[in-house]
């Protein structure tokens, strides 16, 4: 089954899912080096609905968010790895967005029932506004302690001189 979509295709898929009465759980991120924290986050998000759709940041956005040495894996490769997970139903490949308003418009078009985020997400307020605009809700999922791609990248760079 196909899991990887561009934005227009993801919008079309979401519309079809809504017509079928499916509850879409939306989550986003970089997912650069897949680790236990990612897996547990996605599995926990799956419990809130019928279809988990991940919004996957593009390479330029990851570089802007995480630094010059990132991403380690391209968006295309990250999508393929995520698509192999049974808890992931679809992945929307994000282009570069000029502002948070564009994200808001995308969420408005996808109309998720749930927006999943991690506890302490710095974008929580924005996600709450997005959820409210589509009569959805935000759920917080506790992060796995000491699990992050940035920490893994630091360890690797110290040991392998990346």
Q: What is the DSSP string of 24-70?
A: EEEEEE---S--HHHHHHHHHHHTT-SEEEEEEPPHHHHHHHH-TT-
- Mean pLDDT computed over 130-141: 97
Listed in sequence order, the residues at least 6 apart from 2 whose beta carbon sits closer than 8 Å to its beta carbon are: none
pTM of the full structure: 0.88
> What span, in angstroms and rounded, lies between the C-alpha atoms of 142 and 161?
32
Residue 107 predicted with pLDDT over 60: yes
For the chain, what is the domain count? 1
> What is the CATH number for 127?
3.40.50.620
Q: What average pLDDT does this structure show over 145-156?
A: 55
Residue 149 has pLDDT above 80, yes or no: no
Tokens of 17: 């899912």
Looking up tokens 């990248």 gives 153
Is the pLDDT confidence value at 36 over 60? yes
Domain residues for 26?
4-160
Confidence of residue 67 (pLDDT cuts 50, 70, 90): confident
SS3 87: coil
């Amino acid at each position: 089954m196909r899991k990887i979509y561009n934005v227009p295709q993801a919008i079309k898929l979401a519309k079809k899912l809504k017509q079928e009465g499916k509850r879409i759980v939306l989550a986003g991120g970089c997912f650069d080096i897949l680790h236990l924290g990612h897996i547990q986050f996605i599995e926990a998000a799956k419990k809130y609905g019928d279809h988990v759709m991940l919004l996957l940041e593009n390479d330029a956005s990851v570089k802007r968010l995480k630094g010059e040495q990132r991403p380690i894996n391209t968006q295309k490769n990250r999508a393929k790895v995520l698509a192999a997970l049974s808890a992931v139903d679809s992945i929307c490949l994000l282009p570069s967005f000029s502002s948070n308003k564009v994200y808001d418009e995308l969420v408005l078009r996808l109309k998720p029932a749930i927006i999943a985020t991690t506890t302490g997400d710095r974008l929580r307020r924005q996600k709450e506004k997005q959820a409210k605009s589509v009569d959805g809700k935000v759920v917080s999922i506790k992060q796995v302690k000491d699990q992050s791609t940035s920490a893994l990248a630091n360890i690797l760079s110290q040991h392998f001189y990346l």
